[in-house]
Structure 1
């Protein structure tokens, strides 16, 4: 048996990250099946109400996960990220889907030995993930990748996830804002 590649380890850490965040927010998180994976969905998160001011009492969210060791460039109040695969970009920007979709990007430290550490008191996964909805984004003129912008205020953490799910319970679907100069 061969060890995982560095890219596979990054991917597995992104799954661990969203599972930990969802569990901390008292939400369910499951890895997507092969059919969803073919549509660019890596995981599904489910939250249950009551939600403050919400209409729905159960909300689902589909997630495309990415992890990278490349330090993000800051553009205005966002991080830029090059999303490989225009088909994935098109899946995420669609307004013709019932279940909202977001992109979650985990920015890992440059060196693998800094990604994860543990002690008797803590298990620490370093750096942070951010999310963005590409719903309604413009089509791409590129053939292989598209630069997208993740707002720095949209940390993928328990508080941010709870706020997003509460918005979804009110039928407030996040849309893509692009970059700020």
Structure 2
């Protein structure tokens, strides 16, 4: 398997694990023509508007050193940028970037009572970012404070239940 495919599959597994802990459903897109790799939805008992909200995720994984001054500087293909930025969407879309170690042997550590996944996912909403023209890639700044974990994933889905996007 190509390393790019390994990163993609590991990223899907990582987000699936977080969603499972949060009690949310995930669904993979069969064709990624709208820059959506994974949908996340579920019942939110505290929701006031939509009790079954959904968010869509564009997953990216990299072992490159892209962190500068507490921000991931991620070069996103222009098509993905435009698809995620689209302001005419009902379902909020987020960019999810998983930083992985260079060596695939370091992605998962097996222990006697558990296993651990390395490293960490981060999320960004680029809905309100500026429009760009004439570039094939757009660098998206993702603050390291926007770590994707169970609490933050539930927060993003809860926002969607209120008709909002982060």
TM-score tier (shorter): over 0.9
Answering whether residue 150 of structure 2 is matched by residue 155 of structure 1, we say no
Asked if the contact 2:91/2:160 (under 8 Å) is kept, the reply is: no
Q: Post-superposition shift, 1:87?
A: 1.0
Determine the C-alpha separation between the residues in 2 that align with 1:45 and 1:62.
6
Q: Post-superposition shift, 1:142?
A: 4.4
1:14–1:142 Cα change, 3 Å: farther
Q: Post-superposition shift, 1:112?
A: 1.9
CA distances 1:66-104 after superposition (whole Å, capped 9, x unpaired):
0000122224x4321111x21111000111111110000
Instruction: Choose the corresponding residue for 2:30, options 15, 33, 45.
Output: 33
Instruction: Choose the corresponding residue for 1:141, options 127, 133, 136.
Output: 133
1:96 aligned counterpart, secondary structure: coil
Answering whether residue 14 of structure 2 is matched by residue 22 of structure 1, we say no
Give unmatched runs, 5+ long, in structure 2: none
After the TM superposition, which residues 12-161 of structure 1 pair with which residues of structure 2 at under 5 Å, given as runs?
A: 12-34=9-31, 37-51=32-46, 54-75=48-69, 77-83=70-76, 85-161=77-153
Which structure 1 residue ranges, 4+ long, deviate > 3 Å from structure 2?
Answer: none
Asked if the contact 1:45/1:62 (under 8 Å) is kept, the reply is: yes
Superposed CA RMSD in Å reads: 1.4
Aligned residues: 166
Determine the C-alpha separation between the residues in 1 that align with 2:48 and 2:18.
21
Output the TM-score relative to the length of structure 2. Answer: 0.93
Determine the C-alpha separation between the residues in 1 that align with 2:109 and 2:95.
26
Determine the C-alpha separation between the residues in 1 that align with 2:60 and 2:48.
30
Determine the C-alpha separation between the residues in 1 that align with 2:159 and 2:90.
15
Asked if the contact 1:82/1:148 (under 8 Å) is kept, the reply is: yes
